[in-house]
Structure 1
Amino acid sequence: MSINQKNSDNNDTDAIKQSGFSLQPLLLTPMRGISVIATAALAVDFATGSILYEKNADVVLPLASLTKIISSLALFDTLSLDEIVTTSEQAIATEGASALMAGERYQVRDLLVMTMIESSNDAITALVEYAAHKEGIAPLYHEAWFIEQMQNKALALGASQKMVFYNPTGLDISDQLAGAYGSARDIIHIAQNSFSSPLWDLTRVGTIISQDGRVVTLRPTNSLQGSLVQLRGAKTGFTDIAGGNLLVLLEQPIGRPIGVVVLGSTHEGRFSDVAFLLGMLRQNTIR
């Protein structure tokens, strides 16, 4: 079967470690007769395009902070990693906890690291402000301009027309409207087509340093940090509307990458869902 057929994140390393997941570079077979808590899920062998598991993969759901994957990838079209960004009062005022302070200077690289590892709303907002200003966009239209860049990037990376963004963070806009919507298949298409992007290299960093010398020790929101030697990257998401979301990318020694995403799980369930699927993938590897 072809593949074409309030904001917070949680740590829970035990479930991942207990899965004992270590795919051998051999044949992976589809998993049947199993289920996860998540409303939707999709696991794909990127090397063959084979779908290993799917549940409601085309149902459009709130993305929460998985939105920041698209935000970050869109920034690569405008910014270089070594450009210097000064954090504004407006960016720091964005909802959610952050180690950033107004007036600090960071490389784009460092703010992307904070966006992906800590799911910092302040960091992605500072980057969007900087990118829009660089392109000569009036402050009133910064977000609208960038949302258009996000939509274009998502389509270019294989997402469907049903994927839609209302802000760069994925934060809920109201009690009934999320910041972004898309399907598990949309996320997997984007992950597969961006697998070689340097963005994923930034998801395995422990500290960043401001241009003024302040060292910031990062607090990862994904519980796979350091738990899987094959980890290429991961992104968490959680809001009241979305529930728990998680994308995991694994890179095998001989170039056998896979992607697993769950949407609409619970705060803790997203981690146990992925751990369960990884464990089942291990059992379904033909030796």
Structure 2
Amino acid sequence: MANDDQAQKPLLLLPAPKVAPTGIAGMVFLVLIFFASAGLTVAYLSNTSTSKAAQAAAVASAVVEDAFAGIKLEAQSAYVLDLTTDRVLYSKNEAAQLPLASLTKVPLALVIAEVIPPDTIITIAPHTPSDGGGVRLPAGLQFRAQDLIDFTLVASSNEGAEILAEAAASAMLQEYPGAAHAAPVLWRMNDWVKDLGLAHTYFLNTSGLDLSPTQAGAYGSAKDVARMFGYAASVSYATFGQTSRDTIKIRAITGESITARNTDEALPSIPGLILGKTGYTQLAGGNLAIVFEVGPAHPIAAVVLHSTRDGRFDDMKALITATISSIAGGGQ
């Protein structure tokens, strides 16, 4: 019996169809045309996307520039710094070394907080306030150190600055044995700004009060002050929290209370204030420096130096308005 292979009929083999060379060339040409068209389409879409992105960036940049364009300040120097991106939003004579007046009390408070716990009790000794005015702190009363810091900052009290510097002298010498024995707190303030690399800033007293008709108590630039305030707000928020309030009341251990009103008249116009301090002397003119938030975790430092007593507040309002417009317009 034959097997299956032997039983199968032979297959009829047909010759392979012939394709003309011209037909192959035509198909290749069509394929090339297809891929070329696809490439051009992708390139066009890519260029269009890039063009739109560039246009958007240009518009955002224009918005940022326009936010501060034409702004007029009475201040001789001003500076606005985005502390999140380290981007300078505005500057005017930012490196000019000018009298700081009571802006000096912010580094004072910071170095005091380094060596004296907030609940430390300080007794008010008999003395004459260095500015001859302001709210008096009655001799013999005892206050928490943080309460005295709050009072000194909010009321811009030169008396409070003297009391704090005297109270912290011994602790400062223990913490920094190399400090100047005659004025250890003042020494630390100058040492602190040196550590921060603030080359245009130095202090001759702890309050910023003018020493004479020609000699200020402290000098610095708007750029230095912005970085100083930004650093202070970031490392010691609790020390400066009360500067955002219009009025504060501190209470002595024995129950007596003293009220201090904030010297910052621009306070209602400042959103999300973290830290603020005024300064005014004959030599300094009107100073104001703040750290505020334009959004969650988005702090801005703004400084005006050598404006007028009232002009500093209008200057700051103008800078705040421009800053908010800048950030909203994409200047982040």
Higher relative contact order (CA 8 A, sep 6+): 1
Quote the residue 2:185 is aligned against. 146
Q: 1:189 aligns with which of 200, 213, 227?
A: 227
Q: Distance in 2 between matches of 1:93 and 1:230?
A: 33
Normalising by structure 2, we get a TM-score of: 0.72
Give yes or no for contact 1:32–1:53 (8 Å, CA) kept in 2. no
Letter of the structure 2 residue corresponding to residue 204 of structure 1: S
Which sections of structure 1, spanning at least 5 residues, go unmatched?
1-25
Give yes or no for contact 2:270–2:317 (8 Å, CA) kept in 1. no
The structural deviation recorded for 1:133 is: 3.5
Indicate the SS of the match to 2:115.
Answer: coil
Q: How does 1:40-51 map to 2 (within 5 A)?
A: 40-51=77-88
Quote the residue 1:111 is aligned against. 148
Quote the residue 1:286 is aligned against. 329
Q: 2:270 aligns with which of 225, 228, 232?
A: 228
Quote the residue 1:269 is aligned against. 311
Give yes or no for contact 1:119–1:221 (8 Å, CA) kept in 2. yes
Q: 2:240 aligns with which of 192, 197, 200?
A: 200
Q: Distance in 1 between matches of 2:251 and 2:182?
A: 27
Which sections of structure 2, spanning at least 5 residues, go unmatched?
1-59, 175-179
Q: 1:93 aligns with which of 106, 129, 152?
A: 129
Give yes or no for contact 2:271–2:294 (8 Å, CA) kept in 1. no
Say whether residues 1:29 and 2:64 are aligned partners: yes
> Could you give the per-residue CA deviations for residues 121-140 of structure 1, whole angstroms, max 9, x where no partner exists?
11111111111134569xxx
> Could you give the per-residue CA deviations for residues 110-129 of structure 1, whole angstroms, max 9, x where no partner exists?
11001110001111111111
> Could you give the per-residue CA deviations for residues 248-280 of structure 1, whole angstroms, max 9, x where no partner exists?
111244211001100000000000000111122
Q: Distance in 1 between matches of 2:114 and 2:205?
A: 18
Q: How many residues align?
A: 257
The higher radius of gyration belongs to: 2
With 202-211 and 122-131 compared, the bigger mean Cα shift is at: 202-211
The structural deviation recorded for 1:282 is: 2.8
> Could you give the per-residue CA deviations for residues 152-181 of structure 1, whole angstroms, max 9, x where no partner exists?
112233422x31111000000000000000
The structural deviation recorded for 1:143 is: 5.7
Quote the residue 2:251 is aligned against. 209
CA 1:77–1:247 in structure 2 vs 1: closer, same or farther (change >3 Å)? same
Give yes or no for contact 1:37–1:273 (8 Å, CA) kept in 2. yes
Indicate the SS of the match to 1:263.
Answer: strand
Quote the residue 1:169 is aligned against. 207
Q: Distance in 1 between matches of 2:91 and 2:242?
A: 28
Q: Distance in 2 between matches of 1:69 and 1:144?
A: 17
Give yes or no for contact 2:189–2:203 (8 Å, CA) kept in 1. yes
Quote the residue 2:106 is aligned against. 69
Q: Distance in 2 between matches of 1:275 and 1:135?
A: 38
Give yes or no for contact 2:129–2:158 (8 Å, CA) kept in 1. no
Letter of the structure 2 residue corresponding to residue 29 of structure 1: V
Q: Distance in 2 between matches of 1:43 and 1:113?
A: 25
Say whether residues 1:157 and 2:193 are aligned partners: no
With 224-233 and 264-273 compared, the bigger mean Cα shift is at: 224-233
CA 1:255–1:136 in structure 2 vs 1: closer, same or farther (change >3 Å)? closer
Quote the residue 1:21 is aligned against. none
Q: Distance in 2 between matches of 1:184 and 1:135?
A: 28
Q: Distance in 1 between matches of 2:162 and 2:169?
A: 11
Indicate the SS of the match to 1:43.
Answer: strand
> Could you give the per-residue CA deviations for residues 183-211 of structure 1, whole angstroms, max 9, x where no partner exists?
00110111121222122213235211111
Q: Distance in 2 between matches of 1:107 and 1:143?
A: 25
With 213-222 and 245-254 compared, the bigger mean Cα shift is at: 245-254
Give yes or no for contact 1:143–1:168 (8 Å, CA) kept in 2. no
Quote the residue 1:124 is aligned against. 161
Normalising by structure 1, we get a TM-score of: 0.83
Indicate the SS of the match to 1:89.
Answer: coil
Give yes or no for contact 1:128–1:143 (8 Å, CA) kept in 2. no
- % identity of equivalent residues: 34
Q: 1:58 aligns with which of 95, 109, 112?
A: 95
